[in-house]
Amino acid sequence: MMFRTVAAVLGFALLQLPGAPQALAGQSIKTSIRQAPLPSATASDLRLGSSAFAIAHQETGEILVERRGEVVLPIASITKLMTAMVVLDAGQSLSETLTVTRADIDTLKGTGSRLPIGARMTREQMLLLALMSSENRAASALARHYPGGEKAFVAAMNVKARLIGLDATRFYDSTGLDPRNVSNPRDLVRMVSAASAYPLIREFSTSDDRQVRIGKSTLQYRNSNSLVRSPEWQIGLSKTGFIREAGRCLVMQTWLKGEPVIIVLMNANDRSTRSTDAVRVKQWLETGGLSRVALSAGRRDG
């Protein structure tokens, strides 16, 4: 099937989503992270199951509440946001056909894949599956087809991390299967802000489902984050992650009461806890925590 090709947007720009305040459209994102001098709130107010998290106002870059915000942990498939940025920064043709080979088999964790060896897909389709469904062979193939191969790709990931201020973040592969891919909640706030500047990352990471033609077969893929299907959420960017060392992870950019918020949840015990944590964050921000968002936005305007 045909996929809409969108050129990567470089730099940082606030998301322009349906329903987003027009006054915010086109403004640059402040990627520095500052602890907001707002009314007192503690991580215990949220009663989250994730062992580390950070909730930030995207426009001001201020942390609204966090737990273990500077603790470095494995990030699993959250890695694929950086994979996508490096792919798009390279400017390679999104319509070029790539082939899945035995080199893309996961020999580290032994995970399976619905993409058979020999599957041929465009770079754009590979990017879609990596972002929407966290398809590891797609992410691996994207790195192999980078100029200089996988080694050069991983080097570019780490260079990009330094350029956007991810001081605690390190990458060793493009899939997130390697537990040495690490970051902390504050760095992931910055990474989500950076990734949200790319229209294709926003589109693919929040797509509900897509059909992909592989040879004579048509495969149905769904988003690994069930919250993108909920009418209660206005999600601009999403990525899940899981390996044993990382637990269940989730990062999202979302609009709450007209304000852009970044949610980073790390090391939850299971999918249910991860989703429940996100819902609790939303409820907190829309009730007692909303005053913190409003005050943060007010300092931006003033």
Contacts of 30 (CB under 8 A, 6+ apart): 59, 60, 61
Residues 140, 104: contact at Cβ < 8 Å? yes
**Of 50, 77, 207, 238, which is the active-site residue?**
77
| SS3 (DSSP) at 237 | strand
Active site residue 205: no
Task: Give catalytic status of residue 216 as yes or no.
Answer: no
| Cα distances (angstroms) measured from residue 252 to each of 71, 140, 169, 188, 206 | 19, 23, 18, 10, 10
Token representation of residue 4: 């809409």
Q: Is residue 182 a contact partner of residue 171, using CB atoms and an 8 Å limit?
A: no
Instruction: Determine which one of 44, 50, 51, 80 is catalytic.
Output: 80
Query: Token pair of 172, please?
Result: 């060793």
| DSSP assignment string, 169-192 | -B-S-SSS-STT-EE-HHHHHHHH
Q: Distance between CA 79 and CA 82 in Å, rounded? A: 6
Residue of 50, 134, 193, 224 marked catalytic:
134
77 is annotated as an active-site residue: yes
- Catalytic (active-site) positions: 77, 80, 134
